Chains A and B, each alone.
Chain A
Amino acid sequence: MPAKKVLMFGWEYPPHHSGGLGVACKGLAHALIDNEVHVCFVLPKTVSLTDEKRVNIKFADAYSKLPIENISVHLEELSRELQNPYITSVEYERKLATFIKYGGKIIPRTLFEQVDHYGTMTKEMFANGMEDFDVIHAHDWLCYSAGIAAKEISGKPLIVHVHATEFDRCGGNSVNQQVYDRERRGMHVADHVIAVSELTRKIIIDKYGVDPTKVTVVHNGNSDADKNPKSRFKDLYKLREAGKKVVLFAGRITIQKGVDYFVQAAKKVLEYEKNVQFIVAGSGDMEEQVKGLASHLGIRDNFLFTGYYKLDEQSDLFAAADVVVMPSVSEPFGIIPLESMSNGTPVIMSKQSGVSEVVTHALKIDFWDTDEMANKILAIIHHPVLKQTLSQEGLRQVKDITWDKAAKKTSSIYTNFYSKTK
């Protein structure tokens, strides 16, 4: 059989990324190439990716009459935040206002306009001539309009890959109808849907009304993260040397991530063990609220808020921690536990997560059960042998959770369509 060729649409790509989506796209793309699939990866906006030698990357705006304008260096951060796939539309409007106030120019104003513009640019890209491919693969709703456009023009099968749904992002609050509609349309137009977990597959079937026979679970793999020798956190491990127990939350500070439950559990832990340092690493729209909660509970001094951190700083955070907690309210997959386990740091994870479907060597809790969260934090900080066993077994297990497995499963989904279209 001739090699398979996939035209893949993404929204972000490391190192220019804000969360797990870019990491997952890169991990999958590389592993597909290892499995002899040709990958052409499209991004909406031109960025410098000189380190990416293996994947053929195309920037859709390069073919557009209406490219996203170049922006000055000091606005780059804001621009990146605007492209954050996890941003809420309210937050987007607020940041956009600041961006424009400081002289930033961007053609499509709202996130929805940007998403739609991706579809338009895709059409322009095709008009410029497109290499041959067998299937289209679009990651998350931000890329569905581009994927749908490619399917309409080429007639090739479209696979959409669901890394998160609006129901996860809103953490139980009311969903954004515009996002939901776009997600739903993409899933229904698609010839096949890939879900990152059984949890997500169930949401796709129950809340988006997608035919169960066309939804397949492909669990994410673990990516080896780069390490920055100049990381801000390289001395953080000294906290432990000084006899502190260190409990870490790492991720975006949003309602989806359940950081408020983490603070409630910390309160309980501190009633039994005073010498504990809690670290909240990351940024997000709930940051002030979470700080306020810690102050209100009288435990603000036991908390360290690091603010936004880069991926290459993460391993120093894990190295500093006795335990990493992922208290997500709804986590389609969740790569933090895998990254933590690769660093030999034990994990307490929410059962409401896709990653708990593939990880057994971790402690699991219901996100709302802050007593149990505290019980398990206390168990790890009091019993080194528990920490040691989780660390050893976790390291062993995470080596088996690979992108290669994900790529093989994805490739077999391609094959189903490949044989149909040839």
Chain B
Amino acid sequence: MPTIALYLKTHQPFRIKHYRAFDVGHDHEYFNDKGEGKTNNVKILKKICEKSYKPTNKVLLELLKKHPEFTFSISLSGVLLEQLEEHAPATLETFKKLVATGRVEVLGETYYHSLAFYYSISEFEAQVKMQNKTLKRIFGITPKVFSNTELAYRNDLALWAENNGYKGIIAEGWDPILGWRTSNFVYEPTGTKKIKLLLKNYRLSDDIAFRFSNKSWSEWPLTADKFASWVHDVNGNGETVNLFMDYETFGEHQWEDTGIFDFLRHMPKEILKNKDNGFKTLSETCKAYDAKDVVDMPHIVTWADSERDLSAWTGNSMQQSSLSELYRIESKVIATKDAKLIDDWRKLQTSDHVYYMCTKWFSDGDVHKYFSPYESPYDAFIAFTNALSDIKHRAKID
């Protein structure tokens, strides 16, 4: 009798505008593109609110009212919450309404959606603290389960989470790590005592997140009752089905005309048709089931690409150099005590900036995989590096 742990993760970065060498030392606003281009953050935010957040939250709220058994988890990066508060307060209200039902759990993460854990623990902790403060202020909650940026997980992150009071942590349910084991049980991370590890069932998650509208997929069209039958098949070989995906799956990655909202609307009902099935938040899942085994991840595993590694963020030398330069100046930036400067520097830590510099899909024929507001990874690097030069200029760093 598996329960479903549905987790919707969302984040929007502060994209850097077309910031040029000549702007260094003069213009300290990197994120304020007001034009028609793809780095106008306000414009993008408003579009995503209309296409995804608002219609998704409407359906989710209806489902919570209709099915007392329905419950799920979400997370919103601090930089997204900041943008929602300023430019889309009405949409933020819809998130608040969800959380106010008491049946929607909010997870912890870094405020800036950064990879700081792997570069600077002090910086990482500062960002987690900021996020917790923001969640308390907006939603009145304190997170119990930790979700790192891009699910970038390693044993020592689990130990950190345990030492900092988290009951659970999540990661990718990646076959080379699991071997014969399945993601449909709760596990214990190597080197920890109490914290539980929840692993994404990437097959069933990706059926919705990636394959839903793919007409060449043999299972297309995916209906709610078909999906419920697949979940039911887990019976006997698992206790939880962890469906982790981007919030934007609904309405942005899968457009409304694919029928994705109808699918969401009917999915809980179909799952609950079988009395053995149910829904749990991630905390409830951690509490309900014992860890079946110890899972060891000494190297970073993410939920990205076929490699499930950080290569999309750190694969080439532009990315590596950007990250090392960014964290090299940490102490000097912090020492300025200039709140605006520190905030701008932290906004550059958002993982999207280095992701836009990824060159591995940028050859012939593969360019469609390059999701970026920039024309090329090189343009992304130039805008970032110029902005970082200006940060150094402001902090008087050579």
Residues of chain A whose beta carbon lies under 8 Å from any beta carbon of chain B: 268, 272, 358, 360-364, 371-372, 374-376, 378-379, 382-383, 385-386, 388-390, 393, 396-397, 400
A389 to B318, CA, bound (A): 7
For the complex, give the distance between the alpha carbons of A372 and B21 in Å: 9
Q: Tell me which residues across on chain A come within 8 A of B363, comparing CB atoms.
A: 360-361, 393, 396-397, 400
Is A388 touching B376 in the complex (CB atoms < 8 A)? no
> Nearest Cβ in chain B — how far from A229, in angstroms?
33
Q: Once the chains bind, are B22 and A361 in contact (CB under 8 Å)?
A: no
Q: Tell whether B20 is near chain A: CB-to-CB under 8 Å.
A: yes
Q: Could you list some 15 contacts between A and B, CB below 8 A?
A: A358-B364, A361-B378, A362-B378, A371-B20, A374-B21, A375-B22, A375-B382, A379-B385, A386-B381, A388-B317, A389-B316, A389-B359, A389-B381, A390-B378, A397-B364
Give B3 Cβ to nearest chain A Cβ, in Å: 46
**Also in contact, A360 and B385, with CB within 8 A (given A272-B22, A386-B378, A390-B378):** no
Query: What DSSP secondary structure best describes chain B's contact surface?
Result: helix
Complex: A214 Cα to B385 Cα, angstroms? 47
CA A186 – CA B316 in complex, angstroms?
48
Among A268, A379, A397, contact of B382 (Cβ-Cβ < 8 Å): A379
Cross-chain contact B385 with A389 (CB below 8 angstroms): no
B386 located at the interface, meaning its Cβ lies under 8 Å from any Cβ of chain A in the complex: yes
**Chain B interface: which size bin?**
20 to 34
Other-chain contact of B378, A382, A389, A397 (Cβ < 8 Å): A389
Contact A379 to B376, CB < 8 A, known contacts A385-B321, A389-B317:
no
Contacts of B284 in A (CB 8 A): none
Q: Is the CB of B386 within 8 A of A379?
A: yes
Residues of B bordering A, CB below 8 Å: 20-22, 316-318, 321, 359, 362-364, 367, 375-376, 378-379, 381-382, 385-386
The A contact surface, by secondary structure, is helix
A385 proximity list for chain B (CB < 8 A): 317-318, 321
Please name the residue on chain B nearest to A268 by beta carbon.
B22
Instruction: State whether A375 and B20 are in contact (beta carbons under 8 Å apart), knowing that A358-B364, A361-B363, A400-B364 are contacts in the complex.
Output: yes
A386, B318: Cβ atoms under 8 Å? yes
B31 CB → nearest A CB, Å: 18
Contact B376 A363 (CB under 8 A): yes
B362 touches A360 (CB 8 A): yes
Is the CB–CB distance between B375 and A364 below 8 Å?
yes
How far is A386 from B320 in the complex, measured between Cα atoms in Å?
Answer: 11
Q: A-B contact count, CB below 8 Å?
A: 64
Q: In the complex the two chains form, what is the Cα distance from A183 to B379 in whole Å?
A: 39
CA distance A371 to B359 in the complex (A): 25
Give A393's nearest chain B residue, CB to CB: B359
Q: How far is the CA of A364 from the CA of B382 in the complex (A)?
A: 12
Q: Is the CB of A371 within 8 A of B317?
A: no
Residues from chain A with Cβ under 8 Å of B379 in the complex: 363
| Residue in B closest to A397 when the chains form the complex, CB atoms | B363
A386 CB to nearest chain B CB (Å): 6
A396→B363 CA distance, assembly (Å): 9
Q: How many Å from the CB of A11 to the closest CB on chain B?
A: 31
Report the separation of the CA atoms of residues A256 and B379 in the bound assembly, to the nearest whole angstrom: 26
When the two chains form their complex, are residues A378 and B21 in contact, meaning their CB atoms are under 8 A apart?
yes
What 10 A-B pairs come out closest when comparing CB atoms?
A: A378-B21, A375-B20, A385-B321, A379-B382, A389-B318, A385-B317, A375-B21, A360-B362, A385-B318, A393-B359
Residues from chain B with a CB closer than 8 A to the CB of A386 are: 318, 378, 381-382, 385
Chain A residue with the shortest CB-CB distance to B21: A378
Query: How far apart sit A389 and B380, CA to CA, in the bound complex (Å)?
Result: 13
Tell me, in angstroms, the Cα distance from A375 to B386 when the chains sit together.
10
Report the minimal beta-carbon distance from B355 to chain A, rounded to whole angstroms.
15
Most interface-central of A371, A374, A375, A382 (chain B CB within 10 A):
A375
Closest to B318 in A: A389
Q: Which residues of B contact A400 (CB under 8 A)?
A: 363-364
In the assembled complex, the Cα of A360 lies from the Cα of B321 at a distance in Å of 21
Q: Which residues on A sit within 8 Å (CB–CB) of B21?
A: 272, 374-375, 378-379, 382
Which B residue sits closest to A351, measured CB to CB?
A: B375
Also in contact, A361 and B359, with CB within 8 A (given A385-B317, A388-B317, A389-B318): yes
- In the complex the two chains form, what is the Cα distance from A385 to B323 in whole Å? 12
Contact among B362, B367, B382 for A376, CB-based, below 8 A: B382
Which residue in chain A gives the minimum CB-CB distance to B24? Answer: A272
- Report the Cα distance A363→B380, complex, angstroms: 11
Whether A364 lies near B376 (C-beta < 8 A) is yes
Q: Which B residues lie within 8 Å of A393 (CB)?
A: 316, 359, 362-363
Name the residue of chain A whose CB is nearest to the CB of B378: A363
Please, how many angstroms separate the alpha-carbon atoms of A363 and B22 in the complex?
18
Report Cα–Cα, A376/B316, bound state, in Å: 19
List residues of chain B with CB within 8 A of the CB of A371.
20, 22
Query: B379 to chain A: closest CB distance in Å?
Result: 8
Tell me which residues across on chain A come within 8 A of B382, comparing CB atoms.
Answer: 375-376, 379, 383, 386
Q: Contact: B364 with A360, CB < 8 Å? A: yes
Q: How many angstroms between the C-alpha atoms of A422 and B382 in the bound complex? A: 57
Closest A residue, CB atoms, query B379: A363
Please indicate the chain B residues that have their CB under 8 angstroms from the CB of A382 in the complex. Answer: 21
Q: Which residue of A lies closest to B382 (CB)?
A: A379
CA distance A93 to B317 in the complex (A): 53
B382 to chain A, nearest CB (A): 4
B contact residues around A361 at 8 Å (CB): 359, 362-363, 378
Chain B residues positioned under 8 Å from A379 (CB to CB)? 21, 381-382, 385-386
Q: Are B20 and A383 in contact (CB under 8 A)?
A: no
